[in-house]
Structure 1
Amino acid sequence: METATDFDKLGLHRGQVVQELGWDDDADENLRQQVMDTVDSDLIEDADDAVDVVWLWLRGDDGDVADGLVDAIRDLSDDGFVILLTPKVGRPGTVDPSDLSEGAATAGMVLTSTHNVSDDWQAHKVVRPKGSRR
């Protein structure tokens, strides 16, 4: 993603508290910096209170998508959402699209959109179904 406007499509904006999970050496540092610039804050690892967004890096060998999402929503506010980042098709660690939608459903969530956010990563916005939000 090149501009803060691109992050609007994902629902990121200034003042949000963003928890980052699944970071590893292959994470896109430029992308992380763009997120921090957009929300005007550092990403947090351990949350003391509910967070607005969980920024979850997930690769094919990291385990089940549903398990990753269940872990991600532990600290998520009732109206918060998850940005699930997976390697693009053809990159090491690619996650099958059917695993994404099935994993979201198993975790009780809905996959709403997918965006190319860097050369190697795509972002999937995952939300709670509207009826389950408070």
Structure 2
Amino acid sequence: MSEAEAVTENSVAGRLGFKDQDLIQEFGYDEDVDFDLRDGLEDLVGSELLTEEDHEVVDGVILWWRADDGDLVDALVDSITTLDDGGVVWVLTPKSGRDGYVPPADIEEAAPTAGLHVTTSPAVSDDWAATRLVARRKK
């Protein structure tokens, strides 16, 4: 990867709000994930992404989610068990027209049930849409 490509990848990874030394746990990893985005995240935070089996408290979660992956509410609940207060969950879904496409309404419907709130959806990948979820504010 050229230096210019590395800067671009770090900018894309940086749009997700992570920084050096953050711990990110990854769920739903498979051969179809965006490896450039993953590499950019690892370069940005300075460590490998943690796996589903890790139990460390993390600053953020990356959840790769496809239409046939099961129950999104269950996956979201599982993904936040090690999430630090103030941490974020990024749900990455195949974009419209691609295999495994998940309508944004599915995420918007599942998030509140899991105790999360949809905030933003920046462009981060040619093939994957990103949706940022955070814990709902306590009254």
Letter in 2 for 1:61: D
- Written as runs of structure 1 = structure 2, the 5 A alignment for 1:58-97 is 58-97=65-104
2:61 alignment counterpart: 54
State the distance in 2 between where 1:43 and 1:72 align: 14
State the distance in 1 between where 2:101 and 2:55 align: 32
Structure-2 change in CA distance of 1:130 and 1:7 (3 Å) = farther
Q: Is 1:30 aligned to residue 39 of structure 2?
A: no
Stretches of structure 2 that go unaligned for 5 or more consecutive residues are 1-6
Q: TM-score, normalised by structure 1?
A: 0.90
Q: Residue 74 of structure 1: SS of its match in structure 2?
A: coil
Greater Cα radius of gyration, structure 1 or 2: 2
State the distance in 2 between where 1:72 and 1:10 align: 17
User: 1:7-53: per-residue Cα shift (whole Å, max 9, x none)?
Assistant: 33321111100111100111111111011011111101132321111
Q: Residue 116 of structure 1: SS of its match in structure 2?
A: coil
Q: 1:14 aligns with which of 15, 20, 33?
A: 20
User: 1:69-95: per-residue Cα shift (whole Å, max 9, x none)?
Assistant: 111001111221111110001111010
Q: TM-score, normalised by structure 2?
A: 0.87
Q: What RMSD, in angstroms, separates the aligned Cα atoms of the two structures? A: 1.7
Stretches of structure 1 that go unaligned for 5 or more consecutive residues are none
State the distance in 1 between where 2:83 and 2:40 align: 21
